[in-house]
Amino acid sequence: MSLDYPAYAPSEEHELLRQTVRELAEAKIAPHAAEVDEAGEFPQDALDALVANDLHAVHVPESYGGPGADALATVIVIEEVARVCMSSSLIPSVNKLGSVPVLLSGSEELKKKYLSPMARGEAMFSYALSEAEAGSDAASMKTRAVRDGDHWVLNGAKMWITNAGVSEYYTVMAVTDPAAGARGISAFVVEKSDPGVSFGPKEKKLGIKGSPTRQVILEDVRIPADRLIGDEGAGFKTALATLDHTRITIAAQALGVAQGALDYAVGYIKERKQFGKAIADFQGIQFMVADMAMKIEAARQLTYHAAIKSERAMLGEKVPDLTFVSSACKCLASDVAMEVTTDAVQLLGGYGYTREFPVERMMRDAKITQIYEGTNQIQRMVMARQILK
């Protein structure tokens, strides 16, 4: 495994993008964040604002009508949206997750057909890998795809699918050769409007309540053969390659929610007075804030480093340590987010424990970053294998 960690600095354009997204997020997304969480409703206002400013799918190349933003710019967009609303940050992040398999392995026709509408804001893209009995062990999936002339017929149920029912397009992994194990899994694009596609009830979740999580149910779903993404049997390889890129966006979400919690807590401790002075003047409080900021910055540096590696890989360069750094930044940033948001609740005391203040929502939202796109226990296994191989 390469230990080469080249120096970098976000460009002036990256910092301008951050400022633009932060202003938009604070003006158009933050005012609705608590209501979105309380009602468990999809953040349509956030989607409208992101689409209006071409920030809903910034990773799509210009050749398909997108902004063509690099991986670091994509991280910054997701980070800044998550700083005010984690549910809303799942719009750009899941659009990337659902469409990266097409970018990595899809035919040119498939890319034009599905990336262009997403770039125009006409459709969102979700990713359907997990099943009820195939979570961390995704290769044990049961969903089947059987060839029938110029079509494939899909049957099965996918679990924990983010933005299910809202997204128009789904990358679906299904078994095409049961005897071949992981090498018998293929990837397909399924459309919401395909006959036989339905959705389970919304999961009742701890956090990210504005982003619907539902089963995607496939009952004799007949799709054209050209909806196969890449070669038959290459789906699981595509799935793993996708996660090398998109775990970095989970790290971006974690950074954003952690930064949002720290920013709010700092504002609070400067105003809150006890024993005749602001609690920010007490050394114990200062040490907490210093540790929170230090850990966020460490996670941010690793995440940005991973984003640059991801960009190089997307451009065709062989990046041997991408798997390691993507797992590392996801694992570190999400652990930091859970710790920082919990500490933010502590800094606000009793107020932090109420829904009148945003840090309890941020703490609930942060938890999922340690679980989805591979639990942090799985990330540690992935990293160890990379080191020991």
Torsion 254-260-262-265 (CA) sign: negative
CA nearest 363: which of 344, 388, 382? Answer: 344
Query: Catalytic: 131?
Result: no
Residue 256 in tokens: 């954003």
Look up residue 334 and give its amino acid: S
Range list of β-strands (E), the chain: 125-128, 144-148, 151-162, 169-175, 185-191, 197-199, 213-224, 228-229, 273-274, 277-278
CB distance 43 to 208 below 8 Å: no
Dig out the tokens for 271 from the structure: 């105003």
Helix (H/G/I), strand (E/B), else coil: 202 = coil
Q: Which of 79, 131, 311, 373 is catalytic?
A: 373
In sequence order, the 6+-apart residues with CB closer than 8 A to the CB of 189 are 102, 106, 110, 114, 169, 170, 171, 172, 223, 227, 229
Nearest Cα residue to 248 out of 93, 21, 82: 93
**Region for 375 from its dihedrals, namely left if φ exceeds 0, alpha if ψ lies in -120 to 50, beta otherwise:** beta
Which residues belong to the active site?
A: 373
